[in-house]
Amino acid sequence: MPDTVPAGAPDVKPRARPELQMAAADASVQATAFPPGAMARSLRPLARPRALVEQIAALRVAPAEIGLKLSSRPPEAEVEPAAAAPPLTPREKRKKKREAASMQGAVCGVAAIKGEPIAPIGSKVSGCGVEEPVRVTSVAGVRLSQAATVDCSIARALNSWVDEVAQPAFNGQLAELRIAAHYVCRGRNNVKGAKVSEHGKGRAVDISAFVLANGRVLTVAQDYDQLLRRIYRAGCGYFKTTLGPGSDGYHEDHFHFDTSARAGGAYCR
């Protein structure tokens, strides 16, 4: 018996079930996305077109070539071998031989300072000692009355002073320096308890007399005339400290020269 709708009732259409709506939507998408017969194909990727394969092959680089490009470096510039030095002339050979001979027995890197290096000097007294002492026997061709143990600073200064001041003052006739003191660990002016003297550091030397080639001896105590006064004063340009007759009462019979480092510059009295 056919259903009858009462007069005046709302027009209500039957609603489809949700799962049936989803199934219908899926069927619609598949029909739109895939042409007829496409669903029967394999899911494996399709083969590349031949033209694309040939393009990729043309861009490939052999493995050996890749390694060469990664490991190779630009070639270094070739260095031409140094040209051989020309042989020495007979004159140059003689000069070289003389220079080598002049350095025999030299210390402090100066040919005119003769002597020998000795072992470092240590001391139980704080402030005394010499790290690199030398025992000097002559400077600028002038012998010392006794080998002086000093450091190279005083050896070089003494050598320059004798060569440029003392020897010219004696017209080249200076043969020996009388050395009154060199390295000795003591206080200044031999005063007990005083600050360590520069003698205790190997940076001082005392000269009491000058001996000429003819045997004449000029002492600081008895012959402090205009000549000795002039060469003593010139020492201020070579040493950091110069003390002599009239300076402090302790140096009336000798010249004291040292190379101590002084903040206020040279101390010349």
At 34 the pLDDT is: 46
At 25 the pLDDT is: 46
Pairing between strand 204-212 and 217-219? antiparallel
pLDDT lower than 70: segments of the chain? 1-48, 52-53, 55-80, 99, 263-264
SS3 235: helix
List the one residue out of 230, 153, 142 whose CA is nearest residue 178: 142
At 159 the pLDDT is: 98
At 43 the pLDDT is: 59
* Two tokens, residue 137: 């026997």
Find the Cα–Cα–Cα–Cα dihedral 48, 54, 56, 58, rounded to 10°.
170
Q: Which residue is listed with tokens 């049936």?
A: 20
Are the C-beta atoms of 142 and 174 separated by less than 8 Å? Answer: yes
Fold of 106-268: Muramoyl-pentapeptide Carboxypeptidase; domain 2 (3.30.1380)
* Two tokens, residue 111: 């040919």
- Its pTM stands at 0.64
At 86 the pLDDT is: 86
At 129 the pLDDT is: 95
Task: Give pLDDT tens digits for 65-84.
Answer: 545 444 555 555 566 677 77
Outline where DSSP puts E strands in the chain. 106-107, 110-117, 134-139, 142-150, 174-181, 204-212, 217-219, 241-243, 255-258, 267-268
